[in-house]
Structure 1
Amino acid sequence: MIQDIAPHEYHNEWRPQPPEAESYVLFYRGKEVLVKWKGEALDFPRFSDLEDTNDSLWETSTYLFTIDKDRYYLLENIAYPLNDTYRMENLEIFRTVSPGYLAFAGITGAQLYRWYRNHRFCGTCGRQMVHSEKERMVYCPACNTMEYPKISPAVIVAVTNNNRLLMSKYANRDFKKYALIAGFVEIGETVEETVRREVMEEVGLKVKNLRYYKSQPWSFTDTILMGFFAELDGEEEITLDREELAMAEWFEREEIPVKERSVSLTNEMILKFKAGEV
């Protein structure tokens, strides 16, 4: 999965230090990111690559995290070379590009970029927020409102019916591959209640014998995903929520069309069931 970057090690402790010449620059603009290509391999610019074209590069950076011994910093409003090496790319590239640890760095940085961008001003009094020097937090010096990064919990549900798995495709989304039932946890409900509610809302089915599988950080949607396997409880006729799903149907284990591995928890769960491991 996308967070599985071993032997590289991700360190998200808040330990800001001044950047060095070889520290990484992460620059985002909406749903795009600045990439420095090495042939077909992913890379990001370093401070040494951009210092000649940016006067305040060192002073305006925000520390994000460290992978191995390399530090990553968020930058805004920078100038970069206009050539085939440096390009703004859609964040969706991080689903497929390599090396994987840099793809993980790029999409994790994007989640932090969105949080900083959306918390420039106080939601209580409208004053400009200030970055804390002690922890990853921004605060309002006028009314003392404090904001920490928010992560949205969500579930992935593999609904099984003996030797069959329920698979679906999203409606009105760019992602067209097979998926499982999924949804965000609502205020006041447990994760288990979310599983039952989402399955009922999207396909009109009841489930039982919920079994937690594993979790995954999914920075594409600022989410922590929690995967469950659940057995069908009762009738198997599907009532499709066409606002959420384009299709949903039962697949025999041997006929599941998903073959290739990807970076998602959904993909891993589908392949686990197909291989008879759950």
Structure 2
Amino acid sequence: MIQDIQPHQFDNQYRPCPPDAQSYALYYEGQSTLLKKRKDGIDFPRFRDLERLNEEIYEEAVYLFTIDEERFYLVQNISRERLSEFTMENKESFRYAEPQYLAFAGITGYQLNNWYRNRKFCGRCGHKMRHDEKERMMRCDHCGNMEFPKICPAVIIGVTDGDKILMSKYAGRAYKKYALLAGFTEIGETIEETVQREVMEEVGLKVKNIRYYKSQPWSFSDTILMGFYCDLDGEEEITLDREELALAEWFQRDEIPVEPSRDSLTNEMIIKFKNGEV
């Protein structure tokens, strides 16, 4: 999966030290990231690549994380060379870009950028927030409000019936490939209740024998994904929620039209079932 970057080591402990010329500078506009595309993959600008047109870049940078000994920082409101080799590319490219550790850095930085961008002002009193010196947290000195990064719990659900698994396609989304049922946990419910509710809401089915598989950080949607397999409980006739899904259908193991990819928990769960490993 996208976060599996071994032997590289990701360290997200907050260490607000200043950048140097060799540090990576992550810059975002909307859903796009500044990067350089090479024959062997992608690369991000370093501070030395941007400093000539951005005198304040070192003072305004926000520490994000390290991978191995390389430090990554968030930079904002920069000027770029008109014919720069660095271009703005959509975040979806990180699903497949190489090297994988830089793709993971890019999408993780995207999640943090969105959080910082949405926490400039206090949601309680409206005053400007400031960066805390010790934790990754935004603090309001006026009312004392503290804001920490937002992570939304969600489930990926492999509904099975013997040698069949239920797969679906989303309605109204750019992603058109087969996926498993999924949904966010609501306030006041357990993760297992989320599984039952989402299956009933999206396809009108009851499930039993809910069992945890594994989790995945998914920065594309500020989410921590938790994967579950469960068994059909009762009739297999589908009642489709057409606002959420374009289709949902049962597939035998040997008929699953999905091939392995490196990015998602969803794909891994489908392939595990396809290969008879669950």
Q: Could you tell me which residue of structure 1 aligns to residue 145 of structure 2? A: 145
Between 1:49-58 and 1:106-115, the stretch displaced more is: 49-58
Distance of 2:275 and 2:142 partners within structure 1: 58
| CA displacement 1:49-81 (0-9 Å, x = unmatched) | 111111111111000000000000000001122
In the alignment, does 2:42 pair up with 1:42?
A: yes
Distance of 2:93 and 2:79 partners within structure 1: 22
Runs of 4+ in structure 1 off by over 4 angstroms are: none
Amino acid at match of 2:216: Q
Q: 1:132 deviation in Å?
A: 0.4
Q: Could you tell me which residue of structure 1 aligns to residue 134 of structure 2? A: 134
The residue correspondences of 1:105-144 to structure 2 (distance < 5 A) are 105-144=105-144
Q: 1:150 deviation in Å?
A: 1.2
Q: Could you tell me which residue of structure 1 aligns to residue 29 of structure 2? A: 29
Distance of 2:119 and 2:18 partners within structure 1: 23
How many residues matched?
278
Distance of 1:255 and 1:82 partners within structure 2: 50
Q: Could you tell me which residue of structure 1 aligns to residue 8 of structure 2? A: 8
Distance of 1:16 and 1:69 partners within structure 2: 15
In the alignment, does 2:225 pair up with 1:225?
A: yes
Q: TM-score, normalised by structure 1?
A: 0.98
Q: Could you tell me which residue of structure 1 aligns to residue 202 of structure 2? A: 202
Asked if the contact 1:38–1:85 (Cα under 8 Å) also holds between the matched residues in 2, the reply is no
Secondary structure in 1 aligned to 2:38? coil
Q: Could you tell me which residue of structure 1 aligns to residue 63 of structure 2? A: 63
Amino acid at match of 1:4: D
Asked if the contact 1:158–1:165 (Cα under 8 Å) also holds between the matched residues in 2, the reply is yes
TM-align CA RMSD: 0.8
Distance of 1:180 and 1:218 partners within structure 2: 15
Secondary structure in 2 aligned to 1:59? helix
Secondary structure in 1 aligned to 2:106? helix
Task: Give the share of equivalent positions with the same residue, in percent.
Answer: 64
Q: 1:21 deviation in Å?
A: 1.0
Gaps of at least 5 residues in structure 1 are none
Secondary structure in 2 aligned to 1:202? helix
Q: 1:85 deviation in Å?
A: 1.9
Q: 1:82 deviation in Å?
A: 2.8
Distance of 2:93 and 2:84 partners within structure 1: 17
Amino acid at match of 1:54: N
Q: Could you tell me which residue of structure 2 aligns to residue 165 of structure 1? A: 165
Distance of 1:193 and 1:234 partners within structure 2: 18
Q: TM-score, normalised by structure 2?
A: 0.98
Asked if the contact 2:260–2:268 (Cα under 8 Å) also holds between the matched residues in 1, the reply is no
Asked if the contact 1:26–1:33 (Cα under 8 Å) also holds between the matched residues in 2, the reply is yes
Q: Could you tell me which residue of structure 1 aligns to residue 267 of structure 2? A: 267
Distance of 1:85 and 1:5 partners within structure 2: 26
Gaps of at least 5 residues in structure 2 are none
Amino acid at match of 1:201: E
Q: 1:40 deviation in Å?
A: 5.0
